[in-house]
Amino acid sequence: MVTRAASQQTQSLVRRPVGSASSQVTSVARSSISSAASRVSSAAASAVTAPLAHMVTAGDTLFSIAFQHDLDFRALAAANGLTPPYTIFVGQELELGAALAETAIDAVGNGIRSGIRSQAGSSESGSVNRQPIPAPVPTEPDWTWPHSGRVLSSFKSDITKGIDIAGNVGDPVLAVAAGDVVYSGRGVQGTGNLIIIRHTDQFLSAYAHNSAMLVPEGMHVFAGEKIAEVGVNPAGTAMLHFEIRQEGEPIDPTLFLPVR
């Protein structure tokens, strides 16, 4: 539908006899169509190679699953008929392909839709999310650094998805902005003890390889509040791995954190 609508717009522009300006506008329109098609094609390719489903295990939350698969939690919820507080069950299978497709289609427009489909009935038992997560105030986060150490490695979206910050084991790890803890556990492969904070519907922050996690799921935290202690990565280096996700996508944290 995106390509057809854009194509009709292009044809309309071509029929208007406005001289050289018409050629320029037509060129811009064609460029926009090509860009949109490219984004959909790229996302479609990702959908083919990505896992199609995730089997819920003990400790999972909707947010940790979305984080693990680079999805917007709202798209994942919508694709599986989940509504707040996004309760899921051990053994439940969540569709990932549909969530990725929805993310791709909406990315061509004005971002992820916030509408959620009605929750489907289920006979499973054993809720994984035990506490409702209060909806955050929809304001732009006021960011601060999670640790005072120097940056060991910079952001690479396809490799690190965040930054590594030097520290000593036991150093305090601070919340970068006010929000609600939506995951506190070690069920996401490669992250060790991981904490995820939901700041707004658009922004999440994640803190990995902690030696101690000091806040439970469902707790509201404030900017600068101690939430964990620095641990070591799989190579044995004392450090904090930190990420910011915007609508499910890893974003360079240094674009948001204060200059220092």
User: For every one of its 260 residues, what pLDDT tens digit does the chain have, with 9 covering 90 and above?
Assistant: 334 444 444 343 333 333 444 444 334 334 433 433 444 444 444 444 567 899 999 999 999 999 999 999 999 999 999 999 999 999 999 999 877 766 554 444 434 333 323 333 333 333 455 455 555 444 679 999 999 999 999 998 778 899 999 999 999 999 999 999 999 999 999 999 999 999 999 999 999 999 999 999 999 999 999 999 999 999 999 999 999 999 999 999 999 999 98
Contact in structure between 181 and 217 (CB atoms under 8 Å):
yes
Q: Which residues have a Cβ under 8 Å from the Cβ of 41 and sit 6 or more positions away?
A: none
Q: Each residue of 50-89: b (16+ CB within 10 Å) or e?
A: eeeebebeeebbbbbbbbbbbbbbbbbbbbbebeebbbbe
Write the DSSP assignment of 51-113 as a string of letters. -SEEE--TT--HHHHHHHTT--HHHHHHHTT--TT---BTT-EEESHHHHHHHHHHHHTTS--
Contact in structure between 116 and 72 (CB atoms under 8 Å):
no
Beta strands in the chain (DSSP E): 53-55, 93-95, 151-153, 163-166, 172-174, 179-185, 194-198, 203-208, 210-213, 220-221, 226-232, 238-246, 249-251
